[in-house]
Amino acid sequence: RIEESPIEKLVVTNSIALPEDKWIDKMEQLSVAPLLGEAIVRVRENASVSSLFE
């Protein structure tokens, strides 16, 4: 349904694997690795992670 819709781009993350048969040309996948990595570093350093989500 999205493929035929007026939506130009659907941005998703790679936090959950998407089967190839569900992939459409309008999708753009962003990696969550940098955000998760920074959150892990901040937790280990006992620093705030809230600013990552503003």
What's residue 9's pLDDT?
A: 96
Number of domains in the chain: 1
Average pLDDT over residues 9-26: 94
Residue 18: give the domain boundaries.
Answer: 10-53
* 1 is a domain residue: no
Confidence of residue 1 (pLDDT cuts 50, 70, 90): confident
* 39 is a domain residue: yes
What's residue 53's pLDDT?
A: 86
Q: What is the mean pLDDT of the chain?
A: 94
Which residues lie across from 11 on neighbouring strands? 28
* 16 is a domain residue: yes
| Alpha-carbon torsion, ordered 47, 30, 54, 43, to 10 deg | -10
* 29 is a domain residue: yes
* 2 is a domain residue: no
Place of tokens 């007026």: 6
* 17 is a domain residue: yes
* 4 is a domain residue: no
* 48 is a domain residue: yes
What's residue 8's pLDDT?
A: 95
